[in-house]
Structures are given as structure tokens and as C-alpha cells.
Structure 1
């Protein structure tokens, strides 16, 4: 579902499209909200995912901070069977025949109410820490926040000026594995869909890194690891 939704988005002129509507047959209504959130993170635009079945579709939308999603959908309400929600998230039901008109009008409403500066993808960071503090005690503490998911996302941490303990390694077709140096040795890190950014990294250049702290369970072993959300050269 995510890959197909991405393919639909990449066919659009994103310089001119400020609001995304993607739809498909066979998509499970229970996952489209999660996928919409991923697309918002990647493309920085309010996004509505619609799971079509027969002559009707059920949609789930997620937004960016600058756009009132409920109001934006409301401006298209004459094209919908029903809708509801709030500023950041909403759901809707739509007839298949109205889908093209809805996608066009929603994009127009978003273009009218947003500027290009609003479309920079946002990354929410919950806590800034020193990389040495990213240990088992903190990971155990975060377990008290579970279950995590939509509505209760797992905490995103930020550590600045982190050095690599070795060169980056591409895993599979899209994974990026890093070894983050700490005073105790190193912390393994994995970032999916980040392999294309390996060339940005150098063992001699520290980075600022955003990540989720988790346990990697594999072959009966449990290792602490950082699940990468983003990185950049360390701010000077």
C-alpha cells in the first residue's frame, strides 16, 4: 500500500500540488491512516488516502501543522457522502465517480491556504539527549509508554555532535546501518529508506541524529539499537 501510494505521488507535479489525494482498490481501511502519516512525513503535504471498494471509498487523512484538514475537507463537502475529524486528522466517505473532482478541488484548497514555506517536511523531536544517555535504562523507561502507534507515537530523540565509529553500510536495497560512537563503545543504528544518503556521511564529520531507541530481537539475541529518523551534519 505504501509503495503504491508513493508511486502515485511521484507522478504528480509536487511544485504545484500542495494537497495529496491517493486512492486504490484493495487497500485495507485499517492501515490507510498510518500510510497517510508516512506520506505526510515524506512529502510535507496534507494527505488523504482512500481505500476504494465497489462504487465507494473510505478515506483517512493526516495534515501538517499549517493546514486545518477538517476545514480543507469541508470546502469539498458537496463532493462527499460524509466526513468528520479535526484539524490534524479526518476521515471521509466518497463515491468513486466524485474522486477526480475531489482530488482536484482539495489540491486547489491546499494551494490557496498554504505557501511553499509550509511544505518543508517536519520531524517532531520529543527529547534532546547526549548519545551516551541512549542506554538500556532509558529504553526500559520508554516501555512504560507502550503500546505505541497512531495517536501515541514512540518518542523521537535527538543527539548532537555524534561521531561514527566506522563507515556507513548499506543493508539490502534501501537500509543504512551506522555505528554511533559512545563513551561505552558504540550504539548500532538502522535507517530504512536511507541508503541513498550514505554518501552524505564521513567518519571524520560528526552528525546530529534523530532516532527512536528500541530493542533489536534477532536469533534469540537482544541488542539495543537506534532506529534512525533523520540525520544532518552537526551544527557548528
Structure 2
């Protein structure tokens, strides 16, 4: 692997060079991380969405124009794969929400004509989000094709084996598996797996654990230490990326980023400035981590190269506040939040992120951030606003004009946190 990386950085295969160019990595030193998260997904996208032949053609061609055209095509196919993944992931999340307590022990979601090439990726995303054994099923002509991902300590193959009388076929290993099933037996499969999990999975095993290799004070993070750690590369299954932990850091700023506002950027204060951190696909952090929060964070290290400048960047694996703001809801506080949300939306649809930003900017000083943002959940339960996903994948809020008086006791969130 090390020799391959050296070759890729000195005299890469023509097709790989064109792929590096279209991925925007041409001025960077290619690492195993770039391969795993940037180049390989583009090569794999062909097999997931269209046909793997195009990826092979890229690797074997000696024609520069053909290589460039295929690289551009794979780049576009990868965007298509991401869009498919986003859409199915959102539908799966809605399915989980609608199941209520049926999804307490295992995640089993299904949909008609979900693209079978991306359901495995969606299963992995759902494990990251809910941390339960997860099965995502695509139904076609009455038959479900399922892809499974496990959690630590749970043998997915054994779980399917316990339900083999329901399945048409299955295979895999402890961490991941696949199966097919008659669509009319999916509910029965969910019930059987729920009972199976109740018996063998402990409450502690439903709590994700991040293994830390070393503690690292936030003031010690610089490019030099990244260079020293990089001597351990290349990383892979038998040599995993080192994970560090800062046990106490203060958040100087936090924001959502990306076209869909689905990634979170956190800026930590240091004794001589700041250091940036990125949490991919974690927009939820925006509701639990705030400016001034003191947190502990687990992360890997990466260089951020931008406009000729190189700086350290933390890739967040886990983050949590050392002390969490309590959620306290009052009738008067909700009235104030109602006015802010109504003025922010002006009777129209707005992105959820923009409304949340407005709330944090304009909330009264006596309301903490978590309480202010939780007001949106109350308004959703009362039907004042409705959350939906736009055509381009953004989470949106739609304002509903409601006549008459609303009763707060119909909101479960208000009853839970009212003081």
C-alpha cells in the first residue's frame, strides 16, 4: 500500500491522475484518506449506480481525452449516487420516526424501488445516527433485497440465521450481511429481530464507544504533530487511523456548512488562536453544542490546505458538552419564540437552519440555546410549522396558518420540559 501511494504521488496511472484532477486533489499529497473518502467512492459509484465497466475502462485506457471524459462521468455518477443516498436516507428516517417504539431495539426500514446500490451506505448512516443493528430493504415486484450493518458485539449473520425460515436467502458475516425476503414478511422479520435483540443485546451495548489512542491538549495541535503522526501511514483495517481526545475545549464558533447544511464546522479556542474541526453529516450538533460550550472531543488529525496555506484540522468522531444546558419551556418563553419564528418565516417556507440561526440571534437573554431551539419541536407538534425536505435535499420549515386557540398540553415536548 505504501509503495502504491508513492507511485500515485509521483507517476500515477493516467486514469487515476484524471480522477485526482476532477476531485480537486491535484495539488495535494494523496493519502489513504483521500483514496478512501474521495477517489474510491467515485470509482465505486459506477458499480453502484450504472455499471462497473466504466471504472475499469478508466484504469486501463492510455488515451488522455477518453480518461478525462470517463473521470468527469464518474464524478457526475458519484453526485447521482449521493443524491440517491440522501433521498433514501431521508425516507428511512421518516420510516423510523413513524415506527415509534417498534424501532427501539433494531432498525428495519423498507421502501419500494429504493436503489439497491446505495442501501448498504444508507444502513451505515442509520447505524451512525441511531446506533442499532440496521436492515435497509429495497422492494421490487414483491421481493425485498436487504443490506445489513451491525453494531459492536452484535453478530448480524447469527441474527439472520435465527430468522432463516422467513428469508429466501441470506449471507454475510458478523458486521454486515445481505438477504432477500417476501415483502409481506418484513413486519414479521422486524418483530422477530426485536425479540432476538431484547434477549442478547445489553443496554450498554447500545451505547457507541470510541476507542482513544492518546489524549492531546488543544494547545498542542499543530501541523508539526500531524507530520509526525503521518509516519504511521498508510492506514487501513490492520492499522487504523489514530484517534485522539481533547478532554476540555471551548467552542468559539459553530456553523453548518455545505450546500445542504448537513456538515458541522466547530472552531475551538486555543492559547494562541483557534483550531478548526469538521463533523461530516452531523447537523444535529448545532442543537447541542453552542458558542461558549466546554466540550470533550474525539478526533483524527488532518491537514487543511487552502489557497497555499496549511493548517491543522480535527475530523470529529465524537463530541459532547462537559455540562449540558437544561431544557426549560414556559408559556411566556414559547410566546416569545412564536413571534421570532413567525417574523423569520413571514408566512412562507424557510430553511430550518436559517430559522434556527434567527432564533439564536434574537432569543431573550433569559432563555438558553437548547430551550430556544426546542420551541421548534413544540410548534411542529402543534401544527404551526411543518418540517419537510426540499427537492435539493435541504431541511425546510413550512408555515401553517392556524385559526383559533392552540392548547399547549397537546404537545408532548412541552409536557416533558415545561417548568
| TM-score of the two chains, using structure 1 as the length reference | 0.78
**Within 1, Cα distance between the matches of 2:118 and 2:241?**
18
Given the alignment, which residue of 175, 179, 199 partners 2:267? 179
Q: Distance in 2 between matches of 1:160 and 1:153?
A: 21
Deviation digits for residues 4-27 of structure 1 (CA, Å, limit 9, x no counterpart): 211111122237731121122333
Q: How far 1:63 sits from its partner (Å)? A: 1.7
Instruction: Provide the residue aligned with 1:72 in structure 2.
Output: 159
Describe how 1:1-236 pairs up with structure 2 within 5 A.
Answer: 1-14=88-101, 17-120=104-207, 122-130=208-216, 131-137=218-224, 139=226, 141=230, 144-145=233-234, 155-164=242-251, 166-171=252-257, 173=261, 175-191=263-279, 192-193=282-283, 194-198=285-289, 201-203=290-292, 206-216=294-304, 224-234=312-322
Preserved CA contact (<8 Å) 1:17 1:111:
no
Indicate conservation of the 8 Å contact 2:253/2:268, yes or no. Answer: no
Task: Provide the aligned length of Structure 1 versus Structure 2.
Answer: 228
1:71-128 CA distance string (max 9 Å, x none):
11111101111112222222212232322222222222212322434322x0423423
Which protein has the bigger helix share?
A: 2
Q: Secondary structure at the match of 1:71?
A: helix
For the residue of structure 1 that corresponds to 2:101, the secondary structure is: coil
The answer (yes or no) to whether the contact 2:254–2:286 under 8 Å persists in 1 is no
Shift of 1:179: 1.4
Q: Which 4+ stretches in 1 moved above 6 angstroms?
A: 150-153, 217-222
- The answer (yes or no) to whether the contact 1:40–1:63 under 8 Å persists in 2 is yes
Structure 2 unmatched ranges of 5 or more:
1-87, 324-419
SS at match of 1:168: strand
**Alignment partners' CA distance in 1, 2:306 and 2:111:** 35
SS at match of 2:189: helix
Hey, what does 2:5 align to over in structure 1? none
Larger Rg: 2
Deviation string for 1:24-81 (max 9, x for gaps)? 2333333322322222222121111122333323222122224222111111101111
Does the 8 Å contact 1:83/1:90 carry over to 2? yes
The whole-number CA distance in structure 1 between the counterparts of 2:238 and 2:178 is: 15
Q: Please state whether the residue corresponding to 1:41 is helix, strand or coil.
A: helix
Aligned-pair distance for 1:195? 1.3
| Residue segments in structure 1 that go unaligned for 5+ positions in a row | none
**Helix, strand or coil for the counterpart of 2:174?**
coil
Q: Is the 1:70–1:90 contact (alpha carbons within 8 Å) kept by the matching residues of 2? A: yes
Question: Distance in 2 between the 1:2 and 1:158 partners?
Answer: 30
TM-score (norm 2): 0.47
In structure 2, the residue corresponding to 1:52 is in which secondary structure?
strand
8 Å contact kept, 1:174–1:196: no
Matches of 1:219 and 1:64 in 2, distance apart?
40
